[in-house]
Structure 1
Amino acid sequence: MITADRSLLLASSNTPPDLIENDSSSNYSSGDEASDEQLAETIINEIKDGLYQCLVCTSEIDSSSKIMELPSLSWRCPWCNGAHYSLKFPYTCWCKKKINPEQNELNPFSCGQTCSHDLKSCVHGCSLTCHPGPHISKCLALGPKLTCHCSKETRQLPCVLTPYQTGFSCGAKCDDLMPCGVHKHQAPCHEGVCGECREMVDAQCYCGKHRKNIKCSDQVPKKSTDWVGMFACDDPCDVLLDCGIHKHEASCHPITPTSHVCPKSPAVVKTCPCGKKQLGESRSTCLDPIPSCDETCDKLLPCGDRCPWKCHDGPCSPCYRVKEASCVCKKQSFSVPCKFLTDGNVPKCKRKCESLMSCRRHICERICCPDYQEAFKRDRERKKAMRKGVLVARNEEMYIEPSHVCIRPCDRLLSCGKHRCPQVDHPGNCPPCLESSSDDLVCECGKTVIPAPVRCGTKVNCTYQCYRPKECGHEPEPHTCHDPEIKCPRCTTLLKKPCRCERKIEVNVLCSQPQVSCGRPCQKLLNCKRHYCDDICPSTKICSGNLSKCKKLVKVSCPCNRIVKHFECCNVAEDQKLECDETCEKILRNKKLFEAFQVSPTVGDLDQVIPYSRYVMNTALKQSNWVNSVVRLFDNLIQSSKKTHHFNPMSTSQRQFIHELAESYNYSSYTLDHEPYRSVVIEIKEGSKLPHLSIAESIKIFKAKKERDSLASRQEQDSPVPETNSSEFFNAIAIQKVFFGATLDEITITVQELYSPVFPEGLVKCINDSTFYFLPSQPINSSQDIELKLIELLDPFTQILSKKSLAFECKLIKVDDNCHLIATAPQEYLSSSTEKESETEPVEREEGKESTEKQPEIGLQDEVENSCLEVKDVSHEIVSPMKTQEEPGQAMEGSTIS
């Protein structure tokens, strides 16, 4: 007992899926009759030989197998992997006419009757005996008997040749009577009516003056007195009327007894012009005027109104009533004379249509467009459908208004890049270029060929190795064949090449690298006898040792070393000095004031000089922008007419800053409301005044104290930095883990913007392929100030070099005059050097608001002395920081000042 489905018998184990008929009710013809017959024969032969395999149970099927129904509710087809949910599969013959057919050895599972399956091309069915596989593609039966168009001949043709839709013509003369009732149709047998008669006939005009040949269908017979006219000639009548005075001014017309009666004859005109009053015997000839009455004319005008004038002779004047009429686009209404409308005119507004054309690229620029309303409705429906998600793709040109069909040429460049779109402007993408070439398309190496015709824009994709040799003679890198305008990859063979400088040092570089550099500076003494040439190989400026002008920048200061400027070495004498200004004199005067009040600007006395608390100074160092905005409000308040200022709600740490800063100004301060709306109010009181030192001046002194404290701490902790010998300070930065191929010029340009403001004479030297040194000057200087500035540059160097993938590590080092490494700073040393002192909780720096203040390059002692400006009030009492009851905050981020 084999379980299988009848439809699965159509599929052979060696038959492709696209030739399988899964249901005998469908026609899956391959289009090739020989292939279809071979498929059916193969299925029958495999069943006869017991080689056909069931696709469900994979058992062989022969002509004696019992086919049973599948009991499962659903099953998955092994060929298409599609799910089927039919509950039962009844076992029928191939054509489904007989259930449980008898065993047939010659044609297994066939009922032996004609298939008769409906074909799409004709009215007959499949003429084959009940069979598997596709049905016949061409009907072999005779079609019905058809008569020709004129019903004179009858024919019967094979079904595939029978013209069911168009019928046929026998070719004989039609000979049907034409609509004129005189002539017969001379054309051959045709479909439809014969149409108008085109026979030429001799005809006379209505007035009888002319005769000519015209088409029979153009005749319009009208009876005159003695003849029947068939057309109107171009001559006017011009015949005297019965009055003998007037002439008939009408065009050619039939001649009748009443056609030439004078219209103004007394016998014709019996009433006044309006017809309301009888004339009687007042007129004797046609020349007498027609008297009018005093009544209103009241004749019906073409517009539907009545004439408002008094009774009058001749035609009525146009109607001048005002009516409301819509413009062409139906957007506005206008009051226009009735005569304007009766003449066929329509008012127009000045509104531009601006509806999208069919191309959906251009807009309609017509003024008062007649299709505006339709376009507006169409666009509104389209947007509504898009919002609902039910818009279906369709050709909108079939539904668009005639005036909104875009007729501009598209003229967009096609994908081939050579030709332009010849179609009328259209929405969506342009069709592919239909131009083609009759030449074969051959790749550069000639191994890949696309035979003609070749569509325009086709590109050949050759997968063979490029054959072109390199100019250097080395083996080319593996890459596929390409167009000649595309360059081959650069040669990556490593060679030893001499550098460009006069030392000619050989360096391992890529063969394709044009410039070779040893990475070393020139180091020849310039004519100034103070500097050495630091141009790096392969710079084109490598000096020959006899430069006439030294362009290096040197510092020139005033005698007190406060004013420092940089000049080119060639423009400065060796002992040149700058002149002191008023600020220098003020600093000298302040210094004398310190001595007079016995206040020495030493580390221990700095707290006596600064009029602000430690908390205020630490906050000013970390949040300079916010602190400066608050200080400006404090300074402006004492000079304005206002006595109070109410700040916006802020954090606890910010309110603590406001309270302690108010102590320095001798302001009153208090808080309002509860968290999170707690705010601070400051108020001027008697004795309020500006501190004798500003925040900026105090920061300089405060920084000096911190630097001296840090120096003392390092000396006490037995720091690696020697206490007395300044040459033991770290004096360079090592740039290590340099990326392969990175040049000295690339690294110098990358870090130059960082070190040039701090070390104008700094330079980068190449030690080897993976290590470079940054030196603050040449010859190398060493001091504590230089070391601190190098520590500040350490992290920026690492970040910018890593970001540009040039180097990945920077370290603080100590080198001798010959750039030999002496020592490398440990991480603990860097941590102790950069540790910040703060007695209160740290206040986070405002996001995105880093201090941009640049301190002048002067010594520590000079910085303290120069920062002490003139004391405004020597009797000012130093006030200790206010003891607030609020807990210090953790951040001042995002605060605002009203």
Structure 2
Amino acid sequence: MTCLICIASVKRNQAVWSCCGCFCIFHLVCIQKWAKDSLFLVSSPLTDDDFGKKDYPWPCPKCRFEYKRSETPSRYYCYCGKVENPPLDPWLVPHSCGQICEREFKPPCGHKCLLLCHPGPCPPCPKMVTTTCHCKKAKPVPRRCSAKEWSCRLPCGRLLLCGQHTCENPCHAGNCQPCPRVSKQRCICGRQTAERLCASPQWQCDQVCGKALPCGNHTCEQVCHAGPCGDCPRSGKRSCPCGKSKFTLPCTEDVPTCGDSCDKVLECGIHKCSQRCHRGPCEICRQEVEKQCRCGKHTKRMPCHKPYLCETKCTKIRDCQKHQCRRKCCSGNCPPCDQVCGRTLGCRNHKCPSGCHRGSCNPCPETVDVKCNCGKTVIKVPCGRERTIKPPKCKQLCSRPPTCHHPTQEKHYCHFGRCPPCRQSCQKTLVCGHLCPVPCHDEALVKQTGLHQSAGPWEQPSEPAFIQTALPCPPCQVPVPVECLGQHEVSPLPCHSAGPYSCKRPCGRLLNCQNHTCMKECHHVTKINGSADGKKAGPECLQCEEECTKPRPPGCSHRCVLPCHPGDCPSCLQMLKIKCHCKLSVLYIECLKLTSADLKEKDLLTSCKNQCPKELPCGHRCKEICHSGCCPLNCNQKVKLRCPCKRLKKEVQCSKIQEGQVSLECDALCKEMKRKASEAELEAFENRLKGRRKNKRRKDEVEIEQSSWQKYKNLIMLPVFGVAVVMIAWLMVYND
């Protein structure tokens, strides 16, 4: 919190005063000095006689709320005004007494503030009251006392002052507005008619009445009035100028003087006029009286109308406690000190212009202009602050001439000191013909070192000196397209370093083998016989030393016997060792024949031309020559088929039996034999039941004729296994 008079902080332990208008807080000493200075400035033009007779107000420094001279604060009270010099309590609001405020609310409602002593205005009244609307039509409702005035928004309906219409505005507070309707109305005297608001039916015209008065000699001089004009103002009994005699005269004659003494009290208020009855004002009092001076120390006989002031000067000390009053014939009510303070203010430039006072002086009221470099922008600052306030920011452009080779400098605002370095492009023509694109370097700051050699380690190193000098243009950085040595790319290089270069990529030219490229780093290649082909290798390129990596024919897993070469690889003549389809024989076939053959030829090449040793599902051997895939299921082997009773038999193909195409049923003889057999079995069963020995029954077996393979397989397999053992032994010896 800051006091607006001394611009200092208000502390908890300082005496303060609060304005009742804006509730701003000031130091008590500051507000007393403010009130005294304000009264002095207002009353300084007054004379000594007028001093103290008029009660001039003094205003609040912030809101200008006026206070009387008698309301000048002289004591320190709390906010609610109950306690003088309230004690400092860290648990309470500063300058508060801690009691209930009990100040009346504004606007007054009959209640008092119930908060503890507090700064600022009291809050709105929180009491609950039951009140109706402005027009009294709505039912009463409970509301806050601070908001007890409310409107029901219904038409008011009260009769207006015109007596003819009612108020049509919504329910409102206070008196109704004047009737807004217009009607033709006569003036009071009835001579003129005009359209006027219904709210003001009575109006006066500008005409003088002019009617003859009852005396018959004069006319009425009143302006547009109602009722009779009245009697002539010069009729009846009239008094003489002194008022002692009365005469009854016609209205055409003036009242004469009575000849007696005037006896009216003069301006002095003591004596009476001694002249005869006269018209006009009385003269000044000329009687001589014994008068006492204002200070009461001397007396003198002199005319009554003249004031008496002695020459004795007052020796009392004025309220400044520095100077004597020194006013002639002072009545004891010494005015404030009229001398100027004259002490040097805080600005150190001026002296205090206020009247002589106690305490510190107010801040300097003068202002000083602070200008920019060009003087077109000016700000006003309090006197004494011009040394600490930064110059204003001027929006005008700097008008200084350029100091570099450019005809004009960059636009920048007005400033103090040197202009900023030129940031325009140099644009000087270089040796290569390009323009220098770097910022202007005519006034570059260059650090100078080595100018001063220190005498020893005890000497402090001096700061390096900077000089402003023109630097030469840097090397040209304009990009120039340059092709690399191997003609792989065209890159933009700075103009000053443009020349043949290596792009660090592999050469990539096709070697003589027509399969690989040169892996040497980008290099120069000599053109042979004026060849312009950029993809053909030259004498500087590497020689291919790789093996042939061309793809082999499908199925061939052997490498090419030649080194890396152009064209197709030679045919592969390697012998492949593979097994036949039945996995019993080992075959040797050339790789070329096997890889170039189609599926049928491959099946023939990989077949051992012997009978397939695989066994069919029916149990017979496959009759086909060594083949790939599954064996055929149509077995042509002849087998014997018997009837269910095993008596009849028949030779058929095995495949037909497997497919269920052929069956052999029992004939009548078989059935008869079966019946007899069942009867014999029944008889035997009966014999067993009787304890007889059971005869064993012979079992009839169905003879199955053996095939030729089953008969001669041992004779065939023994030579085959012998040949296989011999071949395996030969291969082992050959491989060793």
TM-score in terms of structure 1 length: 0.18
Higher relative contact order (CA 8 A, sep 6+): 1
Q: Which has the larger radius of gyration?
A: 2
TM-score in terms of structure 2 length: 0.21
